[in-house]
């Protein structure tokens, strides 16, 4: 796949003001995020500190940014996810750990292209 990872930046530089910025993906059970990885980023959150993100283009063309918890962030690294790979993030619901802390359970699948 010969993908120009700078295409959107080049379009903005050329004066294209129709470029859209990703919206944040809201994880919901039975509403998985499926698409093509377009990039990675991070931002500073007042309460939680540095938050890592993945930018995904859905089949519809919509760009969304998913905030990565520790499980997702580690999974992306372990599966060597890269721009252009296919990604599935499926929110499976809330669970409790052995010590009683509640956490979000996800399924993460990366398919290399």
Per-residue pLDDT averaged across 78-98, rounded?
A: 96
Give me the pLDDT at residue 69, please: 92
Beta carbons of 56 and 36 less than 8 angstroms apart: yes
Q: If pLDDT is split at 50, 70 and 90, which confidence band does 2 have?
A: very low
Please name which of 55, 61, 66 lies closest in space to residue 31, comparing C-alpha atoms.
Answer: 66
What strands lie across the sheet with 49-58, from one edge to the other?
23-24, 63-68, 49-58, 33-45, 86-96, 102-111
Q: What is the mean pLDDT of the chain?
A: 88
Q: Using the predicted structure, report yes or no on whether residue 109 has a pLDDT greater than 70.
A: yes
Per-residue pLDDT averaged across 49-66, rounded?
A: 93
Per-residue pLDDT averaged across 46-74, rounded?
A: 93
Domains and CATH numbers, the chain: 22-111 (2.40.50)
């Amino acid at each position: 796949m010969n993908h120009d990872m700078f295409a959107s930046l080049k379009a903005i530089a050329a004066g294209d003001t129709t470029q859209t910025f990703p919206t944040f993906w809201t994880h919901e059970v039975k509403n998985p995020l499926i698409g093509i990885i377009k990039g990675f980023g991070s931002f500073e959150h007042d309460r939680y500190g540095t938050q890592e993100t993945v930018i995904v283009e859905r089949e519809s063309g919509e760009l969304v940014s998913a905030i990565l918890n520790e499980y997702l962030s580690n999974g992306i690294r372990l599966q060597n996810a890269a721009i252009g790979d296919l990604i599935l993030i499926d929110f499976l619901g809330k669970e409790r750990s052995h010590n009683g802390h509640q956490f979000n359970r996800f399924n993460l699948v990366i398919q290399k292209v």
